[in-house]
Amino acid sequence: MSSIDLPVQPTEGSAESINCPLCDYDLRGLTQPRCPECGHRFDWEELKQRAREKHPFLFESYPNRNAWSFAKTFLAGWRPARFFTILKPHERIRPLRLVLYWVATSAVLTLLFVPILLRQLLATRDSLAQQGQSLANIYQSLPPTDPMYKAIITSYGSIAAYTNILTNPSWERVWIQSMRMQSYRMPILPLFVSLLAWPWATFAVLMLCRASLNQARIRSSQVLRCVIYSCDAAAIFGAALVLFPPDGLYRILELLPRRVAYFIAFPFLLPVFATAVLFGGYVAYRLWQAHKRYLRLPHALPMAVASQVIVGLCLLIYAMRAAGM
C-alpha cells in the first residue's frame, strides 16, 4: 500500500513511520492528533503531506541558492508572526545551514565593527607614542646621579632602550589601554562581541531554563532554529549603532573626571543599555512568536522575555568588565 493510501491515523503496523516533529516520538497507533510526549497538536494529513513539501524560501532548504534564500529568509524574519506561521516543525532541520546563516549575518557585523575597532586601536597607539615621547625627553635629560636614571639603567640597561619602549608601545599595551578607555568611547568591542554571542547566549539560557522544555521533550535543534532566526536582526542594530553613535555624550564625559562621569553621567553604557533594551526587546518579541506559533509552547511570552532579560544583564556585566569598571 502506498503512502497516499495510508489511513488518516496510522496504525502500529504501518510501513510508514510518522514521528512528532518536535520530539521524534513515533505517532503510529495514536487515536488523537496530539503527541503524548511533548503535547504538540497536529493534523494527520497535513503532517504526511508537509513532510514531503519544501519550504518556499528557507535558507536551510536551498543550499544551491544561498544568496537568494538568505535575502528572502532575512527579510521575511522582520514579520515574525507570518514567518513562524509558515515555518513548520516537521520541515527538516539542517544544523550546519543554521550555523552558516549565523555566520553570514555575523559577517555583516564584522564588516561594520572591525574597521572602527582598528581605528580606535591606531588612535590609542598614536596617543601612547606621543605620551612616551614627552616622557622620553624628560628621562634623556636626567643627570647620571638622579635615582630615576639609576633605576632605568638597572632595569633596562640604558636610557635609549627605555625610551624606545615608551615611543613604540607594544600592541598588547595598546589593546589594554584601548579597553581601559572604552568608558569614554563608543564601546565597540563589547557591543561587537555581545551581538555576535547573543543567539548562543539566548540558546544557553533557554537550555538552562528547561522547566517547561523538559516536560515538552522538545529537541534542542528546534529551539536553536527559533533562536537563530530570531536574532538575525543583530546586523541592523549594529549598523544603527555605527551610523548614529552618541558622540556628543562622549565629548561631555571627556571633560569630567572618570569617577564623576561614572556616577553622574552614566558613562559609556548608553549604547550598551540601548542595545540591551531595544535589541533584547525585539528578540523577545520574535522568540515569543516562535514559541507561540512554531513550537506552540505554553507561557511563550514570559519565557521569551525572561531569557532576554538574563542575556541583557550578562551583556551589561561583560561591558563593564571590559571597560575595567
- In tens, the pLDDT along 149-199 reads 888 888 888 888 888 888 888 888 887 777 766 555 556 777 788 888 999
Residue 288 scores a pLDDT above 90: yes
Same domain, 99 and 29: no
Q: The whole model's pTM is what?
A: 0.72
Instruction: Give the structural domain span for 10.
Output: 3-53
Write down the pLDDT at residue 264.
Answer: 44
Q: What does the pLDDT average to over 217-243?
A: 84
Write down the pLDDT at residue 260.
Answer: 53
Write down the pLDDT at residue 15.
Answer: 46
Same domain, 239 and 314: yes
Same domain, 16 and 115: no
Please give the single-letter amino acid code of residue 314: C
Find the range with the poorest average confidence among 55-69, 88-102, 133-147, 178-192.
178-192
Task: Tell me which residue of 210, 224, 181, 225 sits closest to 61, measured CA to CA.
Answer: 225
Same domain, 215 and 295: yes
Please give the single-letter amino acid code of residue 325: M
Angle at 195 between CA 74 and CA 184, to 5 degrees: 135
Same domain, 186 and 237: yes
Same domain, 114 and 12: no
Q: With respect to residue 68, please indicate whether it lies within any of the assigned structural domains.
A: no
Same domain, 15 and 116: no
Q: With respect to residue 233, please indicate whether it lies within any of the assigned structural domains.
A: yes
Q: With respect to residue 152, please indicate whether it lies within any of the assigned structural domains.
A: no
Q: With respect to residue 260, please indicate whether it lies within any of the assigned structural domains.
A: yes
Q: With respect to residue 13, please indicate whether it lies within any of the assigned structural domains.
A: yes
Find the range with the poorest average confidence among 8-17, 194-203, 293-302.
8-17
Q: Of residues 321 and 6, which shows the higher confidence score?
A: 321
Same domain, 273 and 220: yes
Residues 71-122: tens digit of each pLDDT: 999 999 999 999 998 888 778 888 899 999 999 998 888 888 888 788 888 8
How many domains does the chain divide into? Answer: 2
Instruction: Quickly tell me which residue has 595598546 as its cell.
Output: 174
Q: How confident is the model at residue 263 (pLDDT cuts 50, 70, 90)?
A: very low
Write down the pLDDT at residue 256.
Answer: 53
Write down the pLDDT at residue 222.
Answer: 85
Whole-angstrom distance, CA of residue 20 vs CA of residue 108? 36
Residues 213-228: tens digit of each pLDDT: 555 577 788 889 999 9
Q: With respect to residue 294, please indicate whether it lies within any of the assigned structural domains.
A: yes
Range 76-83, long-range pairs (CB < 8 A, 24+ positions): 77/229, 77/230, 77/232, 77/233, 77/286, 78/233, 80/230, 80/285, 80/286, 80/289, 80/290, 81/289, 81/293, 83/229, 83/289
Q: With respect to residue 298, please indicate whether it lies within any of the assigned structural domains.
A: yes
Same domain, 296 and 192: yes
Q: With respect to residue 148, please indicate whether it lies within any of the assigned structural domains.
A: no
Same domain, 105 and 22: no
